[in-house]
Structure formats: structure tokens, C-alpha cells
Amino acid sequence: MAMADESLLEYLSEQLVKLKKTTLYRKIKLIEGPCGSNLIINGKKYLAFCSNDYLGLANHPKLKQAAKAAISQYGSGSGASRLICGTQSLHIQLEQKLAKFKQAPAAIVFPSGYMANLGIISSVVGRGDIIIIDRLSHASIIDACRLSYAKLAVYPHNDLNKLEHILKRSQNYNQRLIITDSIFSMDGDLADLPALAGLARRYNAALMIDEAHATGVLGESGRGAAEHFGLKDEIDISMGTLSKAAGSMGGFVTGDKQLIDFLRQRARSFIYTTALPAAACAASIAGLDIIINQPQLRKKLWQNTKYLKNGLKKLGFKLMGTQSPIIPILLYDEDTTMRAAEYLFEHGILIPGIRPPTVPKGKCRLRISLSATHSKDELDYLLSIIKSV
């Protein structure tokens, strides 16, 4: 128990001592050089299965070139919020590109996906409204719900019967907003978007999806899970990030012109923060060009996914129903998980052990994320080491 006269710093250092006694204290590794399927740590090369750089664009020459050219023309910083000094033409270009890519009437960019979720959710609903989310929703969605002052209801992961039950019993709220990740970031499985869209329509609720992991990854053209399921107008609010497959930085929302205009007027994480630097916008535009024009990268990513999943299944691992390049290996307790991660690291492989609070207690796992840039030899090496864990 903290005593009343204890200083804040004393209290915090006690908390740290407690954390260090558990396996939950996180040490952050120093990476030398760019993000990629190979990382240099302490001068040693590691085969990495941890980034969300699904298409290998984070260090792509075209993106780097675009960013450099943008810095030459527009400088390194954007100086202020877009509402204060105005918007640079690259912001507009990026928004137009996103709207076209997602086949939506309009788009708005935020400095990150996290900020996009905060801005959207806390502005479109408020007191008197209800938000209904999947239990495994990304932390940025949960934080945003808290900021919104709306009532929050949570249904068990992908349990649409429970969702329907909540919809039936929440008719007295003004606005009802259902929010789901399309690809769940820790389990790698998909939300059943057609069924969710059906429920939203039947009960006159709005549907928002978070396509952070699906953008550039799912769908014939890389537009995400909505495209994969053949949905478009059924989704009221679609958000995504440019920091994963698109190889850059920034969050975005696409949808109706009124929605986007409303967000420009009211989303606090758009208004009260400095605009993305031109370099990030230019890199995103170049990344989207590659997503659109080089479907073979997406194809390779899915080939890698299939190959590794089959290999792991042959070794007898439980893969938690993943339907994406995120492949979790459930090892249950923290100790086993962190020891397995350590063993892999000693053998030159970087796969993060995921534990609470990121996942529920007793659901610790190794979380493999694949990239189009992984070679078959690298996947075979991974399988051989996992076999020996």
C-alpha cells in the first residue's frame, strides 16, 4: 500500500521494483539500422518476425526517395496544426489518393492510427450514446471509448449472438456505434464483417471498422477486409494506418463527405496536434502506389503465410484460427513464452513473446508476423529452430 505521504516518484519506483520481480518488465532492444526482415542488434544479425511491415516498404528505395524529395521541397517539420497555418499540398494529395484507393467519397489523415481512433470515436459519439466493441479491440479503440463519455458495452471475441443481445437491449440510446478490428492484431483472425454489417443494418446501428492490419494485406487490391468480403457501403466509418503495410506513418479515415468534414471540425487529435510532416505524406503516397501497382507483393505475403502455417501445423502447434500473416503460437503461461522467445533469440530469431496486459492472463503467445520479404530459406530456418524449442 502506498502511504499518504509517499512522493509520486517513490511510488513509481516501487511499482517498477514490483514489475521487475515479475516477468512483465519490458526491456526495449536497440536496433541498429532500418526495419526489415533482418535486424541488427548488438552488431549481430537477426531474422525478424516482429514488424507490421508486411510488404517490406518501410525501407523501400521508392518511399525513401519520395520522403527525401518532400523534405527538400517542404522542409522537415510541418510547423503547426493544419487548422492553424493551413495544409500542405501533400496532405491533400494523400487524402485524395486514400479516397480513390478505398473507393470512398472522402478521406482525412491523422498523425497516427492511434490518434485517428481517438479522434473519430471521441467526436462522433458522446453522452447518451452507446459504443459496442469486441473484447479483443485494439488499445487505441478502448482508450478512445473512454474519452468519448459514451456508454461502453463489450461482447466476447467474435460472439455475434452476444452482440445482437446487446443491440436488442440498447434501443434507448441515441446513437449506437459498433466498432471492430477487421484483422485482430494479437490473434490474427478476422471479424465476420458481413454478419456485423447485417446486424448493424437490422438494428439501425452504425458500423466502424479498424483496418490497421488489413490495409495493403487483404482484398484483391489491398483495400482491406471490407474488400475481401465484398462490402463497401455497408461500412459507415473505415479507418486504417499508413504505418504498417504502407511503410510510412499516419492514420486515416475514409467515408462519406459529411463524416470527413465533421471530423475536420471536431476530432481533437486532428485539431490540436501538429500535422504529419511532408516526408511521411510523400512516403505514404509512394507506399500506396506500390500497394496498388504491385499485387505480386501481396501474393508473396500470402504464399509465405500459407507455407509457414502448414509447416507449423505439421509440427503440431495450435495457431488460434489465424486468417492473416499474424501467426500466434499459444504457449499459455508467461514463463514458457518468454523462455521460448529467449531461445529463439539465442538462435538468431526475433519473435516477440506477448503477455499481459497486451493479451489476457494465461493466453501468452509467440507472435509471428510475416512479410513478403521473407524468403523460403528463412521460413525453413524458422521452422527448424521452432521444432527444436
Does residue 374 touch ligand PLP according to CB under 6 A? Answer: no
Contact window for ligand PLP (CB under 6 A) among 20-28, 29-37, 191-199, 210-218: 210-218
- Residue 382: exposure state from Cβ atoms within 10 A (0-12, 13-18, ≥19): buried
Does residue 78 touch ligand PLP according to CB under 6 A? Answer: no
Contact window for ligand PLP (CB under 6 A) among 120-128, 205-213, 223-231, 330-338: 205-213
Does residue 97 touch ligand PLP according to CB under 6 A? Answer: no
* CA separation, residue 247 to residues 12, 67, 122 (Å): 36, 12, 27
* Residue 104 or 209 having the CB closest to ligand PLP: 209
Coil, strand or helix: which one is 13? Answer: helix
- Taking CB under 6 A as the criterion, the residue among 78, 241, 324, 373 binding ligand PLP is 241
Does residue 215 touch ligand PLP according to CB under 6 A? Answer: no
Can you tell me the distance from the alpha carbon of 321 to that of 231, in angstroms, rounded to the nearest whole number? Answer: 22
Does residue 251 touch ligand PLP according to CB under 6 A? Answer: yes
Does residue 210 touch ligand PLP according to CB under 6 A? Answer: yes
Can you tell me the distance from the alpha carbon of 354 to that of 358, in angstroms, rounded to the nearest whole number? Answer: 7
Can you tell me the distance from the alpha carbon of 240 to that of 219, in angstroms, rounded to the nearest whole number? Answer: 14
- Taking CB under 6 A as the criterion, the residue among 129, 181, 187, 378 binding ligand PLP is 181
- Residue 388: exposure state from Cβ atoms within 10 A (0-12, 13-18, ≥19): exposed
Strands (E), the chain: 38-41, 44-48, 106-110, 130-134, 151-155, 176-181, 206-210, 237-241, 251-255, 326-332, 349-350, 353-354, 364-369
Catalytic: 213?
yes
Can you tell me the distance from the alpha carbon of 383 to that of 315, in angstroms, rounded to the nearest whole number? Answer: 9
- Taking CB under 6 A as the criterion, the residue among 190, 212, 283, 386 binding ligand PLP is 212
- Taking CB under 6 A as the criterion, the residue among 37, 88, 98, 113 binding ligand PLP is 113
Q: What is the closest distance, in whole angstroms, from the C-beta atom of residue 101 to ligand PLP in the complex?
A: 17
Residue with cell 456505434: 177
Query: What's the grid cell of residue 310?
Result: 502448414
- Residues 112, 140, 182, 185: which is the catalytic one? 185
Say which DSSP state 47 is in.
Answer: E
* Residue 183 or 386 having the CB closest to ligand PLP: 183
Can you tell me the distance from the alpha carbon of 219 to that of 226, in angstroms, rounded to the nearest whole number? Answer: 8
- Taking CB under 6 A as the criterion, the residue among 185, 248, 337, 371 binding ligand PLP is 185
Reported for 14-17, long-range contacts at CB under 8 A and 24+ positions apart, including other chains, are: none
Q: Which of residues 324-363 bind ligand PLP (CB under 6 A)?
A: none
Catalytic: 185?
yes
Q: What is the closest distance, in whole angstroms, from the C-beta atom of residue 8 to ligand PLP in the complex?
A: 28
Separation of CA 192 from chain center: 18
The site map against ligand PLP for 130-149 (x = CB under 6 A) is --------x-x---------
State the residue number with the nearest CB to ligand PLP. 113
Contact window for ligand PLP (CB under 6 A) among 1-9, 110-118, 277-285, 307-315: 110-118
- Residues 213, 309, 363, 374: which is the catalytic one? 213
Can you tell me the distance from the alpha carbon of 302 to that of 65, in angstroms, rounded to the nearest whole number? Answer: 27
* Residue 43 or 357 having the CB closest to ligand PLP: 357
Residue type, 339: R
Does residue 114 touch ligand PLP according to CB under 6 A? Answer: yes
Give the binding-site size for ligand PLP (rule: CB under 6 A).
14
Name the residues that contact ligand PLP, by CB under 6 A: 112-114, 117, 138, 140, 181, 185, 210, 212-213, 241, 243, 251
Q: Give the residue numbers annotated as catalytic, written as ranges.
A: 185, 213, 244
